[in-house]
Amino acid sequence: MNGNRHPLFMPLILVGGLIFGFGLAFSHMARPEVVLDFLQFDDFGLLFVMFGAAIVSGIAFAVMPRIRDGAPLTGDAYRRRLKAFDRNVLIGGAIFGVGWGLSGICPGAAYASLGIGNITILWALVGMFAGAYLQGVWRSKRTAAETAPAGAD
Amino acid sequence: MPAELVAQAVPAEPFPNGIARYAIGGLLVGLGAVVIYLGTGIAAGASTFLESTLSYVSDRSRFQQYRASRDWRVVFTLGIVLGAAVYAAVWQGGAWTTNVQPWRLLVGGVFVGIGTRIGKGCTSGHGVCGVGSASKTSIVGVITFLTVAIVTAQLVQAIGMSP
């Protein structure tokens, strides 16, 4: 499928990532201390970051489906980002919350933190990959167990 | 003790560093997501990179389902690192490192890695793209992780753990 990809697909993803990461660094969200200041109610600035970003993306999500059928580089229809609700959203959200509250770090901000020269953040990145791997192994096993015929070994 | 907690909960100044850096930074974060969405129709989140990248080294079915998106997710993440590096070089005036203790980053990272993947998204996927989509699932997800994170961070502060 990569062979059919528009030549500007990857450059556009890179430019989007550049702006995204620059914004995270500019907003100081790449600094765990600033996130912890928010969670400990010392500085409510993070609200402007999250809702400011959500408003900008929300405008695009609301407007684009009305003015174009599909995206120029993929032909994919413009859709909102909707995910099915189930118990996992609450369980995973709570686990994420414990990690976020303990470390002040979330995935996008962690990548940006590396960019601002924060080598110490590698501890968090190693932890995130380890956590993602643990849940992936566990869920792969569970899926295999559910789809395997009953009574097999 | 409860009086102290209440005192902590009401800051003398809600925005001691002003709001410009947060508002401008947030608009740029949203703009980055919008640039990708306009061109490709993809509403990108940052946490799927953790799993999709593991598909290069693990054959587990859970990771292999992200094969199709793993290459662009690497590019997206490299863009985030580089964009932040541009800020550091031009505006920040050099490298910055955290004083938060490594064990907190490591243990917190493990929880973040497990939680965002089970919970179907993180602060960018649910918080920016999901909330921007007015997705009920994402709004519930954000309320959940925000509430638990605040309680956790307050407890950490209450037992005197700093930084």
Å between A34 CA and nearest CA of chain B? 10
- List pLDDT tens digits, range A61-102: 999 999 998 999 999 999 888 999 999 999 999 999 999 999
Contact B84/A53, CB-based, under 8 Å? Answer: no
Regarding predicted confidence, which is higher, A56 or B10? Answer: A56
Note the residue count of chain B: 163
ipTM confidence score: 0.94
Amino acid A150: pLDDT: 56
Helix (H, G, I), strand (E, B) or coil at A97: helix
Which chain A residues in 103-122 lie under 8 Å from chain B, judged by CB atoms?
Answer: 103-121
Joined together, the tokens standing for residue B28 give 């740029």
Amino acid B6: pLDDT: 54
d(CA A78, CA B36): 11
Å between B3 CA and nearest CA of chain A? 15
Amino acid A152: pLDDT: 47
Cβ-contact A102, B157 below 8 angstroms? no
Q: Which residue stretches of chain B have pLDDT < 70? A: 1-11
Contact A89/B144, CB-based, under 8 Å? Answer: yes
Contact B117/A18, CB-based, under 8 Å? Answer: no
Smallest Cβ–Cβ distance between B62 and the set A21, A64, A136 belongs to: A136
Q: What residues in B contact A135, CB-CB < 8 Å?
A: 62, 113-114, 117-118
Per-residue pLDDT band for A107 (boundaries 50, 70, 90) equals very high
Per-residue pLDDT band for A3 (boundaries 50, 70, 90) equals low
Contact B60/A79, CB-based, under 8 Å? Answer: no
CA B17 remoteness from chain centre: 20
d(CA A25, CA A14): 16
Å between A47 CA and nearest CA of chain B? 8
Per-residue pLDDT band for A1 (boundaries 50, 70, 90) equals very low
d(CA A70, CA A53): 23
Cβ-contact B100, A31 below 8 angstroms? no
Amino acid A81: pLDDT: 87
Amino acid B4: pLDDT: 56
Contact A13/B163, CB-based, under 8 Å? Answer: no
Å between A40 CA and nearest CA of chain B? 6
Amino acid B59: pLDDT: 95
Position A153 pLDDT exceeds 60: no
Amino acid B103: pLDDT: 97
d(CA B41, CA A74): 7
Which chain A residues in 41-100 lie under 8 Å from chain B, judged by CB atoms?
Answer: 41-61, 64, 70-74, 76-85, 88-100
- List pLDDT tens digits, range A10-55: 999 999 999 999 999 999 999 999 999 999 999 999 999 999 999 9
Q: What are phi and psi of B21, to 5 degrees?
A: -60, -35
Helix (H, G, I), strand (E, B) or coil at A77: strand
Strands (E) in chain A, as ranges, are none
Amino acid A143: pLDDT: 85
| Residue B142, CA distances (Å) to A73, B18, B129, B148 in order | 31, 24, 11, 10
SS3 content of chain A, % helix, strand, coil (to 5): 70, 0, 30
Q: pLDDT over 90 for what percent of chain A?
A: 86
d(CA A4, CA A2): 5
CA dihedral B96, B100, B102, B104 (to 10 degrees): -140
Cα atoms in the Cβ-side hemisphere of radius 13 Å centred on B12: 2
Amino acid A145: pLDDT: 86
Contact A140/B137, CB-based, under 8 Å? Answer: no
Q: What are phi and psi of A149, to 5 degrees?
A: -60, 140
Amino acid B8: pLDDT: 56
Comparing CA positions, the residue from A105, A18, A28 lying closest to residue B19 is A28
Contact B38/A45, CB-based, under 8 Å? Answer: no
Smallest Cβ–Cβ distance between B82 and the set A1, A48, A115 belongs to: A115
Å between B21 CA and nearest CA of chain A? 5
Comparing CA positions, the residue from B22, B51, B24, B23 lying closest to residue B116 is B51
| Residue A80, CA distances (Å) to A86, B26, B144 in order | 18, 20, 21
